[in-house]
Amino acid sequence: MQRRARSLWDSYGRVADDLRISVTDRCNFRCIYCMPAEGLKWLKREDILRYEEIVRLARIFVERYGVRTIRITGGEPLVRVKLEELIGMINAIDPTLDITMTTNGVLLRQKAQALKDAGLNRINISLDTLHDDRFKEMARSDQFTRVMDGITAAREAGLWPIKLNMVVVQGHNDDEVVDFARLAHSEGYEVRFIEFMPLDGDNIWTNEQVVPSRRIMEQIEDQFPLVPFNDTRPGPATRYTFADGAAGGIGFISSVSQAFCTSCNRVRLTAEGGLRTCLFSLQETPLRELMRSGVSDDHLGSVIEGAIWRKEEGHLINKPGFIKPAKSMSQIGG
């Protein structure tokens, strides 16, 4: 008889029911807010969790602890071979799971339909500019046309709704926020404006480069009045719909100016099997070697429960004592 799932509580009364799984630290872009231009030293293949290990952990989170949302991340997840097979394996745990993925979109033309068929429900696509030349500067890649075609492919495959993630960096793309809102309004996408966070590989982050969500919202509302959207579950984004009833939407992820730590329901699994309770955690709970040493699911569960209970109250950006994590975004899993 299957045991009844119990919630993963932390000591501050939050429940972790949203699992982010990074399947690789590798990426085919070198975005300025994430990685250095020369790239990073990649993990060895044997150090990355095998699909069977990922599925074992996912099953524990779903069946024992009631996790309902699983997001596949990287690095760039689609550089991992046969990712659709992993999606299918996770979907087989519980076909009612909300399985999503964050991708840069460059490989979606080849993969979108297979991902949908395997059980992927929705997709987030990183897109920081609508200009080819600026794309080359920010992503350090000449793949703008392929990314835009990948968005089209995802839509054709029925991976909907599509959310477009725009990291807004002062002096790089902050003059495009209204253009992105116009795209959401006309095409039905939800655009998420993300504040630049101190997780970049080049250590270029400064507070002066952060464009506060409040300022972005004021610019958008001059042309597209917004109405608050009442989310039934906690999430990182403060969401809005268009007041005129257009199908698209707007979201703001204000990690720097208005942290949402008090309602955080997320936990992260890195590509090498580290359990992280916050993007800005300074330590991880290693699960890979535990699994490979032959411990039981009960033992893994007790380790997971302890790690979640010790989850940080919140990050310390803009506060005395903040220490930037040693890992960049691509090494953690977005």
The tens digit of pLDDT for each residue in 287-301 reads 999 999 999 999 999
Whether the Cβ atoms of residue 64 and residue 5 lie closer than 8 Å to each other: yes
**203 belongs to a structural domain:** yes
Flag whether 13 is in a domain.
no
Average pLDDT over residues 151-156: 98
pLDDT for residue 333 is more than 80: no
322: domain CATH number?
A: 3.20.20.70
Structure tokens at 131: 């200009």
Residues 6+ apart with CB under 8 A from 81: none
Residue 10 lies in a domain: no
Beta strands 69-73; 98-103: pairing state: parallel
Query: How high is the pLDDT of residue 52?
Result: 98
DSSP state letters, 233-297: S--S-EEEEETT--S-EEEEE-TTTS--GGG--EEEE-TTSEEESSTT-S--EE-HHHHHTT--H
Length of the chain: 334
Does 305 map to a domain? yes
pLDDT band at 1 (very low <50, low <70, confident <90, very high): very low
Q: Which domain holds residue 277?
A: 18-332
Residue 194 belongs to some domain of the structure: yes
> Distance between CA atoms of 201 and 328, rounded to whole angstroms?
5
The reply to whether 11 falls in a domain is no
Question: What pTM value is reported for the model?
Answer: 0.93
Q: Is residue 133 part of a domain?
A: yes
The number of folded domains in the chain is 1
Q: Considering the domain boundaries, does residue 125 fall inside one?
A: yes
- What pLDDT score does 319 carry? 63
